[in-house]
């Protein structure tokens, strides 16, 4: 029996309705509010969800090495990316169909991002038009400071010509970079979606798909909602049914035939926006990106939703950073759940990080104010971590600031976490 003055469980464990203080608490609050299949749609990975788990667990293999007797009365969390001074080295990753999470979906996220001066990447599968999202950004006035850059994510169709209109719409609306997702020749085996298909309710469409893809509710308002053709392909049980679906869909499928020598020149001919590749996981592809004139890369395994047997993004990062050698910005997403995680990613060599799921949890909890709350948590945690580590500005966060845990103990210094570097990696081998 507990002592009379001992706190009980309800006092120690915050309920999902309490004001969230961490990203984990935001997720628990969102889970309590969202329909189960919508929460699983956002939260789940592919197959056994190993890559999803590795993304978060990898950060726990690193420990920060704090320095002391340093004046940290003023901590500067700003950084510069593509000539733009960002208040935080953190942007918002693209996530599809945000109105399913709650509030005004992408409009709430855009309003929160613009009001905080944060970079946002809009999914081409958003439930709000790219023009309306850009307008939401432009309505936010922050004195003489220009609005933050918004980027546009895209999947190319098998017939790449069908993507031209969307690319030109994005450029005309003021998006400053095109983010080509390169890790989805087919969708990963997302079991939660296969068990309970996610479809858009009546009145909700995917307005950036132009022309609307087959089975998109926006194509025929009287037709019953269906999963997209790409998700139907994911659900195919035999090679025969997969071929039949591909044949029926034709040019409306996500392309599985993109190449360095055809795709990149096509995009350069189509747009003057910066080109950033999302889904780079090896130094070989990072070098090819530089050779083909790409402006930046995002180290990403699609939040663990594609190849389940891959490593975490943090594990992939060091070799990629070494290969790039500062030639282009290296951005990381996947598994970032605290300001300390941001610090560790920067220490390993990322120039910038993106967060995806936590933003959706904030949206589900409180609309645009919930999104602001999530980003405020990250800002406070990063600022506090920097001060406690003896770091005054982002540029001081180098590899000497972290150590790697080993089976034999703590690695005082670490040079590289890569697999072929000849030194200790995140598995301690």
What integer pLDDT is reported at residue 400 of this predicted model? 93
Instruction: Specify whether the CB–CB gap between 280 and 317 falls below 8 A.
Output: no
- Pairing state between β 402-406 and 177-181: unpaired
Instruction: Specify whether the CB–CB gap between 126 and 101 falls below 8 A.
Output: no
105: nearest Cα among 368, 349, 353: 368
DSSP secondary structure string for all residues of 95-116:
-S-GGGTSTTTHHHHHHHHHHH
DSSP 157: B
User: 229-237: long-range contacts at Cβ-Cβ below 8 A with a sequence spacing of 24 or more?
Assistant: 229/253, 230/186, 230/187, 230/254, 231/187, 231/193, 231/197, 231/198, 233/186, 233/187, 234/186, 234/187, 234/188, 234/189, 234/190, 234/193, 234/194, 235/194, 235/197
DSSP secondary structure string for all residues of 174-218:
T--EEEEE-S-SS----HHHHHS---PPTT---TTSSSPPTT-TT
- The CA R_g of the chain, rounded to the nearest whole Å, is 22
- 345 φ, ψ (degrees, to nearest 5): -60, -45
- 320 φ, ψ (degrees, to nearest 5): -70, -45
State yes or no: pLDDT of 37 exceeds 80. yes
Stretch among 48-62, 176-190, 215-229 having the lowest mean pLDDT: 215-229
pLDDT digits (tens, 9 = 90+) for 132-165: 999 999 999 777 788 999 999 999 988 888 899 9
What integer pLDDT is reported at residue 232 of this predicted model? 60
What percent of the chain stands above pLDDT 90? 67
Instruction: Specify whether the CB–CB gap between 245 and 254 falls below 8 A.
Output: no
DSSP H helical segments within 181-312, as ranges?
A: 191-195, 229-234, 239-249, 260-270, 283-291
What integer pLDDT is reported at residue 209 of this predicted model? 85
Sorting pLDDT into bands at 50, 70 and 90, what band is 82? very high
State yes or no: pLDDT of 236 exceeds 70. no
pLDDT digits (tens, 9 = 90+) for 284-315: 999 999 999 999 999 999 988 889 899 999 99
State yes or no: pLDDT of 237 exceeds 80. no
Give the distance from CA 378 to its chain's centroid.
15
State yes or no: pLDDT of 273 exceeds 50. yes
Q: If you average pLDDT over residues 249-276, what whole number do you get?
A: 87
Which residues fall in the annotated binding site?
94-96, 123, 153, 155, 181, 190, 278, 300, 302, 305, 333-337, 356-357
Instruction: Specify whether the CB–CB gap between 415 and 399 falls below 8 A.
Output: yes
Give me the chain's average pLDDT, please: 86
Domain segments of the chain as ranges: 27-411
Instruction: Specify whether the CB–CB gap between 115 and 92 falls below 8 A.
Output: no
State yes or no: pLDDT of 116 exceeds 50. yes
Would you state the structure tokens that stand for residue 101, as one six-digit string? 């999470």
Whether cis (ω within 30° of 0) applies to the bond prior to 211 is yes
What integer pLDDT is reported at residue 212 of this predicted model? 46
Q: If you average pLDDT over residues 114-131, what whole number do you get?
A: 96
289: nearest Cα among 325, 314, 254: 325
User: 12-16: long-range contacts at Cβ-Cβ below 8 A with a sequence spacing of 24 or more?
Assistant: none
What integer pLDDT is reported at residue 414 of this predicted model? 40
Instruction: Specify whether the CB–CB gap between 190 and 45 falls below 8 A.
Output: yes
State yes or no: pLDDT of 233 exceeds 60. no
- Pairing state between β 150-154 and 409-411: unpaired
Q: If you average pLDDT over residues 275-282, what whole number do you get?
A: 98
Fold of domain 27-411: TIM Barrel (3.20.20)
Sorting pLDDT into bands at 50, 70 and 90, what band is 8? very low
What integer pLDDT is reported at residue 250 of this predicted model? 57
What integer pLDDT is reported at residue 146 of this predicted model? 86
State yes or no: pLDDT of 41 exceeds 80. yes
Stretch among 68-72, 170-174, 188-192, 365-369 having the lowest mean pLDDT: 188-192
Highest mean pLDDT among 84-88, 248-252, 420-424: 84-88
Instruction: Specify whether the CB–CB gap between 324 and 424 falls below 8 A.
Output: no
**Beta strand spans in 13-64 (E):** 62-64
What whole-number distance in Å separates Cα of residue 406 and Cα of residue 397?
Answer: 22
CA contacts within 13 A on the Cβ side of 296? 21
Which residues fall in the annotated binding site for glyoxylate?
155, 190, 302, 305
Cα dihedral value 115, 33, 133, 265, nearest 10: 110
Q: Is 302 annotated as catalytic?
A: yes
Instruction: Specify whether the CB–CB gap between 230 and 252 falls below 8 A.
Output: no
Q: Which residue has the tokens 């307005």?
A: 207
């Amino acid at each position: 029996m507990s002592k009379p003055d001992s706190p009980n469980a309800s006092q120690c464990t915050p309920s999902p309705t309490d004001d969230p203080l961490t990203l984990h608490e935001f997720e628990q609050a969102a889970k309590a509010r969202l329909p189960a299949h919508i929460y699983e749609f956002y939260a789940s990975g592919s197959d056994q969800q190993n890559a999803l788990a590795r993304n978060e667990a990898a950060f726990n293999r690193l420990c920060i090495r704090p320095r002391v007797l340093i004046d940290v009365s003023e901590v500067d969390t700003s950084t510069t990316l593509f000539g733009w001074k960002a208040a935080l080295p953190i942007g918002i990753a693209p996530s599809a169909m945000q109105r399913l999470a709650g509030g005004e979906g992408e409009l709430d996220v855009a309003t929160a991002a613009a009001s905080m001066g944060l970079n946002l990447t809009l999914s081409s599968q958003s439930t709000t038009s790219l023009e309306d999202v850009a307008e939401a950004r432009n309505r936010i006035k922050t004195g003489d400071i220009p609005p933050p850059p918004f980027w546009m994510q895209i999947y190319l169709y098998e017939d790449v010509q069908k993507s031209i209109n969307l690319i030109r719409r994005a450029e005309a609306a003021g998006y400053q970079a095109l983010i080509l997702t390169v890790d989805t020749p087919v969708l990963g085996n997302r079991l939660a979606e296969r068990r309970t298909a996610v479809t858009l309710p009546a009145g909700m469409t995917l307005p950036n798909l132009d022309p609307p893809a087959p089975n998109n509710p926006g194509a025929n308002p009287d037709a019953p909602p269906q999963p997209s053709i790409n998700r139907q392909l994911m659900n195919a049980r035999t090679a025969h049914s997969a071929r039949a679906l591909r044949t029926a869909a034709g040019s409306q499928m996500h392309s599985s035939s993109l190449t360095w020598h055809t795709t990149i020149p096509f995009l350069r001919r189509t747009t003057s926006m910066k080109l950033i590749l999302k889904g780079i996981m090896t130094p070989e592809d990072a070098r090819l990106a530089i050779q083909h004139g790409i402006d930046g890369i995002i180290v990403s395994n699609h939040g663990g939703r594609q190849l389940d047997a891959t490593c975490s993004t943090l594990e992939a990062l060091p070799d990629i950073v070494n290969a790039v050698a500062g030639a282009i910005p290296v951005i990381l997403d996947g598994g970032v759940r605290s300001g300390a995680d941001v610090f560790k990613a920067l220490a390993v060599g990322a120039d910038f990080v993106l967060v995806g799921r936590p933003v959706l949890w904030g949206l589900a909890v409180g609309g645009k104010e919930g999104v602001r709350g999530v980003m405020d948590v990250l800002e406070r945690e990063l600022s506090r971590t920097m001060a406690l580590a003896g770091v005054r500005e982002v540029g001081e966060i180098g590899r000497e600031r972290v150590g790697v845990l080993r089976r034999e103990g703590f690695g005082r210094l670490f040079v590289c976490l890569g697999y072929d570097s000849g030194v200790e990696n995140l598995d301690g081998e």
